[in-house]
Structure 1
């Protein structure tokens, strides 16, 4: 999604949310399990430090506090651990339910304080934009891990991994490995401290699944992945012919991230 699409997209989802009263989202039944969380992932690309500062100022001073106030959710804000050139900014917004995603856009569109405080970012002129590009996707949590799990707030780095599949059937089969065959349990047992697992329901490079795991540092990351590859349960799962990566995964993307000082994750 390119810059300026945020406002247009928000207006569309705002109109959809207006069908039901906004106050309905505050009803207790929307905040009680069993529910399946959704995750919005935004990736901002910049051409210089000024753009990055404008965007980070907006998220630190306006967006993150507003989300805490509106839907009581922590927002993850990350930069690349070892960027090539100007870093990208990764923003992860959790929602208890899809309804919260719809309603938040409507509420922000009608919040004058939000538009006033965020004017430098939201109303940046075309000749001096706040970012070059924004890519966005919405994910639905896996059935076997319906809610995010926040890692300890100590020294940590994050790995954001995406598995792209060539077909819808292959993508569903790969998710089956996580949900039904114990792959998520292996991650937890080996101490990866996964934050979320999500199936992308709209966004780029579909079909794909995306997940985030946590490490102390790069040496810790290497040790954990070695333990995963050597794990007897993983060897048993991956040895099943129908679960071969060559059949189910066409591309794997790994991005190492570090949290900003104002990140809620």
Structure 2
């Protein structure tokens, strides 16, 4: 029994050491999704993000920070703002809110938002999604697109799995299977690929690709679907039925977004 217990401890120690090595250089991301009832709420939150929140984060060497708005769908534009924040560790993520609340300039510049009355809230709700970068792309790469921001297509995709096992197989498809490399080869300008650690819909992975305009986005996806790499990947038995729900959101960067 002692021998078995010792072997179990050694095995567990080796596993956690390997896991720590695998995760050492992988960033964590928080995606904050603000929803609004009115345009006035959206304007107040935009001012807060631009003039108080982002400068406070940069004092802590957190960034670059992406701020995005949804594109109109069927003549309706959802009243939402998406904020993407990178962190080098879970500790940094866990401490940043307390740190900025101790910043006097943040408190002053963000006072209209921070001290809003209960019946004049600057948003309806905030959804927070915590993610960990894929092994194949451990660090965020802000898009290098330089065309007009109003024309750019930032495509945020969410892939849910029916079970944890199927979800992990889809993550493997991106990493070991070569899907990340294929997107890179075809010029998708990915910002991140990540496993969702905590969110309202689990199990789940998310990623964001960027394109100069809608036409280029459509062409890129056609090239992806028609590629020989995807033709082989999609029929592999181990990768079958790995996605139960695929949600895509088209965004564009605000003028004050870092990318």
Of 141, 145, 164, the match for 1:149: 141
CA distance in 2, matches of 1:145, 1:218: 25
CA distance in 1, matches of 2:145, 2:227: 28
1:113 pairs with 2:105: yes
1:70 pairs with 2:63: no
**Which segments of 5 or more consecutive residues in structure 1 lack a partner in the other structure?**
1-32
1:227 pairs with 2:223: yes
Larger CA deviation: 53-62 vs 65-74: 65-74
Counterpart of 2:119 in 1: which secondary structure? coil
CA distance in 1, matches of 2:142, 2:170: 24
Partner of 2:37: 47
Cα offset for 1:117? 1.6
Partner of 2:242: 248
Of 86, 89, 92, the match for 1:94: 86
Contact 1:48/1:86 (<8 A) preserved: no
CA distance in 1, matches of 2:101, 2:166: 38
Contact 2:37/2:79 (<8 A) preserved: no
Cα offset for 1:113? 2.4
CA distance in 2, matches of 1:106, 1:89: 22
Larger CA deviation: 72-81 vs 33-42: 33-42
Map 1:200-239 → 2, pairs under 5 A: 200-239=196-235
**Which segments of 5 or more consecutive residues in structure 2 lack a partner in the other structure?**
1-22
Partner of 2:132: 140
Cα RMSD of the aligned pairs, angstroms, is 1.4
Of 185, 193, 200, the match for 1:197: 193
CA distance in 2, matches of 1:262, 1:237: 39
Count the aligned residue pairs.
231
Q: TM-score, normalised by structure 1?
A: 0.84
Counterpart of 1:127 in 2: which secondary structure? helix
1:109-133: CA deviation from partner (whole Å, max 9, x where unpaired)? 3223222221211221111110011
CA distance in 1, matches of 2:123, 2:199: 19
Contact 2:225/2:231 (<8 A) preserved: yes
Contact 2:31/2:84 (<8 A) preserved: yes
Pair 106,216 (structure 1): closer, same or farther in 2 beyond 3 Å: same
Counterpart of 1:71 in 2: which secondary structure? coil
1:258 pairs with 2:230: no
Cα offset for 1:104? 1.1
